[in-house]
Structure 1
Amino acid sequence: MTDSGSQPSEDEVRWARLTDKQRACLDLLVERQTSKQIARELGISKQAVDLRLTNARNILGVPNRDEAALIYARLRQTYDRIPCDPIILAPRPALMSFDSPNGGLPEAIHDRGSPTNEPEGSRPPFGDFWRRDHARVRRVWIMAALLVGLALLILTGLAIAQALTRLISG
């Protein structure tokens, strides 16, 4: 709109007349892509790209692709702005004081991992098993348990294979 707010400018009218499909082609034209490259990018035929660009050139009132790209780039800087939409954000939580009577962390932090404070289904399966910061001894026990489980799985598979072999051979 102009300063008086009564009549839209010629540039604003031209911008408003461009379709989304023409703008998509012009966006890629500004990046110096050929019609063939634009067609591949948008998944349409080269003829459709040429038709969209020709119609866009007519709307912009320019004789060639290069001038269309220049005019469109200028118009895009002016009119292709995201409108300001007020977003209501939640207030920031108050910072917690770490001055506790026992000299350690406040009780709220100690209770954080208890299942009663978290909604149902928010904890990962197996609890803290997949954490990356386990102590060395705990990691050794986890690896040992995994190896025992793997060994049992292999032995079970071998036992099944042996039973099937006996069954087939008679």
Structure 2
Amino acid sequence: MDQTPIDRLSDRQKECLRLVWRHQSSKDIARQLGISPHTVDDYLRKAIRTLDAADRIDAAWRLHEAENGTPQSLMLQPRPVAEPLFSAAIASADEADAWGMAGHGKDSSGNNSTSEQAPYVPLPRPETGERNGLSASQKLARIGAMGMIWTGIAIAATGGLAALKYLIR
């Protein structure tokens, strides 16, 4: 019987992908597993290649789906996407249970968990390999707008300091 791409992953690659799914950086994963960040990145690169994934998040999503499946109630709903600026950074206990992440924040009886892991927030799954769908001109326009905002803040702060200096005299 042929092995699936998930079956061809090593245990260490799977461990690294599970930690990526929990929003851990390479440095955090390395610290937790007692290996170097370079080794973590190497495991992740090989896992991405084995799974033919776009990036580490896509590979972590594929492993998560293979190990946990998609919950019945969410099968027809779109994949989760982190909200802008992580306004809902902490998933409720119901969401955590729905995604097979019971024990993050509350245990099965509803009591606060003693686990010190970060709260679970589903990562967006990239469909293309791009980080976002903005064109180059849209990105430049946003950068320009941000520059104008920061310039305005700097001018306002400078004016406030000048006024304060005048009042202190």
TM-score (norm 1): 0.38
Between structures 1 and 2, the one with greater helix share: 1
TM-score (norm 2): 0.39
Q: Which protein has the larger Cα radius of gyration, Structure 1 or Structure 2?
A: 1
